[in-house]
Structure 1
Amino acid sequence: MGRIHYLLLSREGGVSGGQKMAVRHVEALRDLGFDAVCYLGVGSAMPTWFEHQAPVEPAKVLGRDDVIVIPDDAPEAIEMALKLGGRAVIFAQSREGFAALGFRPLSRFPADRFPPILAVGPAHAATIRRAFPEARVELVPCFADERRFAPSRTKKRVISLAPRKRRLEASAIRALLGRLHPRHAETTWYEMVNRSEADVARALGGSALHLSLNRLESVGLTTLEAMASGCVCVGFLGIGGRQYATADNGLWVAEDDCEAAADALAEALDLVDRGGPKLERMIEAARETARAWSHAAFLPRLEAAWMRLAPDARTLTP
C-alpha cells in the first residue's frame, strides 16, 4: 500500500492559498480514510498562518508504492520525479505559474509515465487539457470553507480587501472613490495583509463589502470566501473569477479599470446604506455561489479522484 505525500515548498512558511489548499487536501483525505501526509521539502517550513490537523513528514526517500503530489510551479521537483520514477501527481493551482515554470519539465515525461494532474477549477482544467491532450486531468475544485467563513451577526460599514497582488490599484480605487464620490470619502477600509486565516474570516464576516482584487487567478478563492461571509463583492475577477461571477452575485468591472471599480464601490455602498430586497438578493446569490464551491461540494470530488488515482492508499473506511 502506498502513502500520498503532498509536497510543500516554502522557505518562510508565508501566506499562500496554494499551500493552504494542499494541507486541506491532506486533512480531508485522512478523514476519508486515505493514508496522506504533508511532505516538507528540504529547507521548507510549514505555514503558520492557519490551523490544521495534517501530519507532517520531513523529506526522505519515498517507497516504490508511494505517491508524491508536486506543485505545478516547482520545476526542480518535477524534474526529480522524472529522474527517479515512481508515482507522481501534479497539483495545478496557478495557470500562469504552471505555464511559466511547470510546462517545460512536464513535457519531458514519456507518454507511459505522464503524471496525472489535479486541477482546482474547470477553466484551469480546460487549459491543461488543451496544453497536454495526453494528460489525465482530475478536476477537484478548491473551496471556500463554510466551516470557517460565514457572516457575523452584525455587519459593519467596512470595505475589506486583500491588496497583495494589486497594491497600486487598491490605492487608486480608494483615492478615486473619495474624489469622485465624496459622500463615501470617510468609508472605513480594512486591509487584510499578512493576516491569519482566522483574522481574515473575522474581517470578512464583519465587513459589509469586499473589494475583489484578484489578479491572474485560476479561481479567486478570497472572493469566494467573501461571498460565503455575506459580503457585497465588487471589483476584478482575475480571469478565474469568470467561472462564478454573475450580474446577480456582485458588481464586477473590467480588468484594471480602477475608475469603474470606484464607481461600482459607490453603487455598492449606496445599496448597503439603503438596505432592502435588492441587497438581500445579491448577498443570497453570492452565498449560493459560494455553496457551489464549498468544502461539502469538494469532498466527494476529492474522494472520487483519489479512488481513481491511488485506491491502494485508502486504508480505512470513514
Structure 2
Amino acid sequence: MGRIIYVSPRTKAPVGGIRTMYRHVARLRHHGFDAYLYHVDQGYRPDWFQEDVAMLYTADLRAPNRLRLEPDDHVVFYESASNSIRFFSQYKGATRHLFCQNHFLMFDALHDLGAANWQALDVERCFASAGIIARAAETCLGFPTVPVVPYAIDHVCFRPEPKSLRIAFMPRKRPDDLEFIRRCFSGAFPDLAHVAWTEIHNQSEERAAEILRESALFLSLGRREGFGLPPVEAMASGCLVAGFLGIGGREFATDANGLWCEDDDLVGAALKFGQAVRWVESQDSAASTMIDAGRRTASRYTIETMDAALIKYWREATLSVQPQPLSARAPRL
C-alpha cells in the first residue's frame, strides 16, 4: 500500500478545514496507514493546535527529473490547490483525490488552471466533509459518488463549564457585518450594554475552546460555509447559539438547537441575538432547552464516527485489506 499525502494550504492562520486535514492524517496513521501532510514551507508545523503528524516538504519529494512518488501513492488536493496541482503534475503515476470541504470553492483551482473539470487535472476521486458538499460535488463536478467523512469535535476540549454572561464570536467571515449587527443590538437593547463581547481570532484551538467554555452565548457569523464548525463547537461547549448558517450550516441546524436567521438579515440577527441574551440572563427554560438540543447535535460529531467513514474511504480507495502497522514497514524516504 502506498502513501497517502494530504496537501495543506500554505496559510498558517487557524482554520478549521486545515485542522481537519491534520486530524485525518493523524487518525490514518493511528490506524496503520502510511499518511503524511505536505506543506510547501520547509520545516513548518502549525503551533495553534496539538497534533504531531508526519510531514513531507518539497525537498522530500523532489528528485532529479522527477518527483519521489510511486504508482501506489495517493495525493489529496483541496479546492484551491492550484500551485500544488502544478507541482504534483510533474509525476502522473499517483492517484489524485479532491477533499472538498466547501462547495463554494470547488471551482477555484479549475478557474486558476483553465481546466474544464477536475478529471482534466487527473483527479479520479472526491470525498467531502458534509452531505451538502457531497451532493453539490456529485451534481456539478461529475463524480458519480462522493463519500462523506464527517467532521469530528474534540469533546474533551470543547465541553461545558460554568458560564459568564459573555458573547463569543468569530468575525473572520463577516467583519463589516459584525459592526452593523452590534450597532443594531445596542440600539434595540440598550439595557444589555453591560454584556461582554469576546472575539476569537487567530488564537490557538485551546484558547478558542477556553473562551467558548466560559461564554454563555455564541454569535454565529458564518458566510458561504461548506459546513461551519464554530457553531457546533459552541454547542458542544454549552453555548446558546444564534446567527447565520452560511448555507452549509443547514447540515446541522434545526429550530430546536439555535436561533437562526436568513443569510444577510443583519437586523434580524441582532434582534434574535437580543432575544437569546434575554433568555440566558433571565434563566428562561427556553435557553436551557435550546442549549441541550445543541449539545445533542454536537454529540454526533465524534472522532469515532469520523474514523469509521475515513477508514472505509481509504480502504476502498487503496484496495487494501488491514494495513500493516507502520513499525513493520521499511521507510519510504
Q: What TM-score, normalized by structure 2, do the two folds share?
A: 0.88
Q: Given the superposition, is the C-alpha separation of residues 216 and 44 from structure 1 closer, same or farther in structure 2, using an over 3 Å criterion?
A: farther
Deviation at 1:132, TM superposition (A): 2.6
- Aligned match of 1:78 in 75, 85, 99? 85
Count, aligned residues = 314
- Aligned match of 1:239 in 242, 247, 250? 247
Q: Given the superposition, is the C-alpha separation of residues 71 and 16 from structure 1 closer, same or farther in structure 2, using an over 3 Å criterion?
A: same
Percent identical residues: 31
1:123 corresponds to which residue? 132
1:218 corresponds to which residue? 226
Q: Given the superposition, is the C-alpha separation of residues 311 and 27 from structure 1 closer, same or farther in structure 2, using an over 3 Å criterion?
A: farther
Deviation at 1:268, TM superposition (A): 0.5
CA-based RMSD of the aligned residues comes to 2.1
Letter of the aligned partner of 2:72 in structure 1?
D
1:45 corresponds to which residue? 44
233-242 or 136-145: bigger deviation: 136-145
**Secondary structure at 1:115 match in 2:** strand
2:174 corresponds to which residue? 166
8 Å CA contact 1:114, 1:135 repeated in 2: no
**Secondary structure at 1:118 match in 2:** strand
2:214 corresponds to which residue? 206
**Secondary structure at 2:172 match in 1:** helix
Does residue 56 (structure 1) correspond to residue 65 (structure 2)? The answer is no
Does residue 316 (structure 1) correspond to residue 325 (structure 2)? The answer is yes
- Aligned match of 2:146 in 106, 127, 137? 137
1:109 corresponds to which residue? 119
Q: Given the superposition, is the C-alpha separation of residues 135 and 84 from structure 1 closer, same or farther in structure 2, using an over 3 Å criterion?
A: farther
Q: Given the superposition, is the C-alpha separation of residues 291 and 220 from structure 1 closer, same or farther in structure 2, using an over 3 Å criterion?
A: same
Letter of the aligned partner of 1:147 in structure 2?
V
User: 1:241-297, CA deviations, whole angstroms, 9 ceiling, x for partnerless residues?
Assistant: 011111100000111111111111111011101225322211110011111223232
Q: In the aligned structure 2, how far is the partner of 1:106 from the partner of 1:47? A: 34
**Secondary structure at 2:147 match in 1:** strand
- Aligned match of 1:65 in 64, 72, 76? 72
Q: In the aligned structure 2, how far is the partner of 1:159 from the partner of 1:266? A: 11
Spell out the pairing of 1:168-183 with structure 2 (5 A cutoff).
Answer: 168-183=176-191
8 Å CA contact 1:74, 1:102 repeated in 2: no
Consecutive unaligned residues of structure 2, counting only runs of 5 or more, are 62-67, 327-333
Deviation at 1:147, TM superposition (A): 2.9
8 Å CA contact 2:79, 2:108 repeated in 1: no
Q: What TM-score, normalized by structure 1, do the two folds share?
A: 0.92
Q: In the aligned structure 2, how far is the partner of 1:108 from the partner of 1:249? A: 37
Q: In the aligned structure 1, how far is the partner of 2:304 from the partner of 2:238? A: 18
2:330 corresponds to which residue? none
Spell out the pairing of 1:243-254 with structure 2 (5 A cutoff).
Answer: 243-254=251-262
8 Å CA contact 2:98, 2:123 repeated in 1: no
**Secondary structure at 1:138 match in 2:** coil
Q: In the aligned structure 1, how far is the partner of 2:146 from the partner of 2:86? A: 19
Deviation at 1:45, TM superposition (A): 3.4
Letter of the aligned partner of 1:308 in structure 2?
E
Q: In the aligned structure 2, how far is the partner of 1:188 from the partner of 1:144? A: 26
Q: In the aligned structure 2, how far is the partner of 1:40 from the partner of 1:259? A: 42
Deviation at 1:189, TM superposition (A): 0.2
Letter of the aligned partner of 1:118 in structure 2?
F
Q: Given the superposition, is the C-alpha separation of residues 106 and 135 from structure 1 closer, same or farther in structure 2, using an over 3 Å criterion?
A: farther
2:64 corresponds to which residue? none
Q: In the aligned structure 2, how far is the partner of 1:276 from the partner of 1:284? A: 13
